Structure 1
Amino acid sequence: MKVSLFATCIVDMFQTDVGKATVELLERLGCEVIFPKGQVCCGQPAYNSGYVKDAKEPMKKMIEAFEDAEVIVAPSGSCAFMFKEYPKVFKEDPIYFEKAKKVASKTYELTDFIVNVLKIEDVGAKFEGNATYHPSCHMTRLLGVSESPKKLLSHVEGLQLIDLPKSYNCCGFGGTFSVKMGNISEQMVDEKVDSTLQTGADYLIGADGGCLMNIGGRMQRRGENVKVMHIAEVLNHH
């Protein structure tokens, strides 16, 4: 299967190792990975801040970059969900509405793609350690992907998963929310860090780069020893 990788801005600029792990993992599972070079920002920051008109230009570029893809995979639930929102954004545009529906229908978050399209639950990963999993808001509540990460992690040899207290709580990132509402965001991420520490886990695993950057940054500032990892990095460890 030919997979077009929607790398996401955070992976491209801050978490390149996550991009590499995603490609290696998909190739190991028998996929041919293509990287459409025309991809830019999906428009999510502007769109979520209410600048819908401004967001449409990068969205159109993304539609054009991916419309011929066989399947689109992103190592991020929130970015994958943004593609799913495109038909709503372009509902009044007769040309881009059809293209947007086409793109949305073949877009998957990484773990959702592995479990529900490739039909694989054990990727042959080995990772020693105690870990807890943070279910990000967009991925869980909007995209509706909650079980596939847990299924994949449950088959990782050597990994001991511990339930995260108050796992349903937002980590306080929320894209521009963490900038606009910094004081509130700080209290939210502190609560997430405290919940993580309660587990005694050595690792916090997540599937959205923004959340991991936020939680990991707070961990570092507080001097905590929990390592934050993207699920692609864990699943690619063998």
Structure 2
Amino acid sequence: MLKLHKIHTKYGHIEALKGIDIHVKEGEIVAIIGANGAGKTTTLNTISGILKPVAGTIEYMNHDITKWPTDKIVAEGLIQVPEGRQIFPLLTVKENLMMGAYLRKDKLEVANDLEMVYNLFPRLKEREKQLGGTLSGGEQQMLAIGRALMSKPALLLLDEPSLGLAPIIVQNIFKIIVDINKKGTTIMLVEQNAHMALSIAHRGYVMETGKIILEDDAKALLNNDEVKSAYLGGH
């Protein structure tokens, strides 16, 4: 479904991605783990078209999207939930969600998807008329994911969904990510909480300083001694 081949991305003269290869099959949850500054967010931003690679190719659904503008990528169902949520603080919960459906013309389907999001996140239904900026961190994360789902993603890119959230909220968010995947959305997940990410993923990649250093089934990575000592607190 998605294939990155020898992708190099730079910030000015600094090479942030050094020729990475990643693939995602339809129906998978694929996790990318690694320390801060490893290049995880850069990878997602490069896939989304926010950053343009200086070399390499990105294929999505058999299209070469390497040079596509972001809006065209979004229209094809490749949707990113950015790090730090980036909701619209002065819009209501419902208005934020409807921004996700901005490109869609299928009014009836949009209404159905709104109900689907409210079923996944009952808290958002309760807070429908509240301003986004007045929500808690966990609720804002739910809103950011809900807004992305309103775009009808085929592939959902999630950047640090657990960031700054209490453990109980994190468990809830990850349970919902699994539900979204079971309903047919393929997911690529960038996450510092390596244990949580690998426990729900099918496959995983480990990044260090702009390179992929390991790729394996998620269960194998959870049991890998190097991964354990570096990213799972040794347990």
Fold agreement, TM-score > 0.5: no
Q: Whose relative contact order is higher, 1 or 2, with alpha carbons under 8 Å and at least 6 apart?
A: 2
**Structure ranking higher in helix proportion:** 1
TM-score (norm 1): 0.28
**Structure ranking higher in strand proportion:** 2
